[in-house]
Amino acid sequence: MTNLISQAFKNNEKKLVTFVTGGDPDLETSIEIIKTIINNGADIIEIGMPFSDPMADGPTIQLSSNRAISKGIDLENIFSLASEAKKTRSDLPIILMGYYNLILYFGIEKFVKKCKENGVDGLIIVDLQPEEDEDLINELKKNEIDLIRLITPTTNEERLKLILKNETDITNGPRGINKIPRTWEHFTEERFYTNFPMNLFLNQKGWEAFFASIPKWWWQPFFAITIILIVIITYFFLEKLRVSPWGRMMTAIRENEKAAAAAGKNVTKRRIEAFILGAVIMGLAGAFLGQHLRLIEPTQTFDPSKMTFLVWVMLIAGGSGNNKGAILGAFLIWFVWSSSELVTNGVIEILATMFDSIDISILKNRAGFIRMLFIGLLLQLILQRFPKGILPEKRPAISGKSQKYAG
């Protein structure tokens, strides 16, 4: 949201949001109405753009639109109303509300530019579908104007997901966040090696010569080494934690929650601690995933088959409750998953050469299901041979030096 709109709701307090159809009953009276509303404590003001066919509105607003149109009110008049409102109180959020046809006829780029010039902070377009808002969204983002979407008590869950997915303030909607800069690319920037402490090792020309001498693909092994180091550090940290009094207490809660609670352990608090620890590790992994892909978007990046099913298979196959098993399972299943893509594509190409009537595009669309089936069969084979995973959990030995942990 723009600063003015977000500031209006920053304390989650109730706000007085008023609506006036612009130009009803005439332009001069409409200006006086808006000024009166502002001077009497309105927190946000919506100015309706008169439209000849306001089918989404009730009879009162329909009649007010007809009266304004009969007086010759057009978008230029609406912009002048917004400008007068902003002059009356510069920190008041101004929102225009209306129909998309008006904007298309006026011209999207021209309309948004006029909004910016006259102090408009947001738009409510009642008949604009999330699937069709890209052109308007792009112009609004350039001019830092919000598009406020409508949700009603009858909005179903699927529609709500679509509306939220197309929200652009944080995630850039269905287009996702792209061109994410890689952290290690900053090493080659002048501001990195000309400042302390890097300037202690080489001067600017020395660093420039160094980076010019290394191949452009240097970041790939650097990234791999970074990931391996992070995995090793995380593994040893979790292993130390697992055999600590806290870790043994978490194991006890997992095995018998009621018995742990009866022993005086704060189960709820321990659950929250485990959740926070897991969230930190997943956040770190997600940051590296974004660095690697350079794109985060809602349809392909977070494919449920990869983010849920494969992760579950990795833990079960490697050995649940076991850090070594989790790492082994991750490498094994991801290797098989990646290799299966090469195998299925090869099989499809062979079938295509053998049978001219086969539609390759259909087979490629079904290839993902074949890979999932293959992974499922592999999991069955592993569990037949290793019921508790390839590396089953080994309980830590309890030494006499164990310290008591107050739950």
Residues tagged active-site: 46, 57
**How, if at all, do strands 177-178 and 295-296 pair?**
antiparallel
Q: Which residues contact 7 (CB under 8 A, 6 or more apart)?
A: none
**Cα dihedral across residues 265, 267, 269, 270: positive or negative:** positive
Instruction: Please state the φ and ψ torsions of residue 4, each to the nearest 5 degrees.
Output: -65, -40
The CB-side HSE value for 174 (13 A sphere, CA atoms) comes to 10
- Asked if residue 261 lies in contact with residue 244, where contact means CB atoms within 8 angstroms, the answer is no
Q: Please identify which residue in the block is written with the tokens 């090469």.
A: 342
| Three-state DSSP state, 257 | helix
CB atoms within 10 A of CB 23: 29
Residue of 144, 139, 180 whose CA lies nearest to 301: 180
Q: Is 135 helix (H, G, I), strand (E, B) or coil?
A: helix
* Beta-sheet pairing, 94-98 with 44-48: parallel
Q: Is the dihedral of CA 280, 282, 287, 291 positive or negative?
A: positive
Give the number of other Cβ atoms within 10 Å of residue 211's Cβ. Answer: 14
φ, ψ (nearest 5 deg) of residue 98: 180, -150
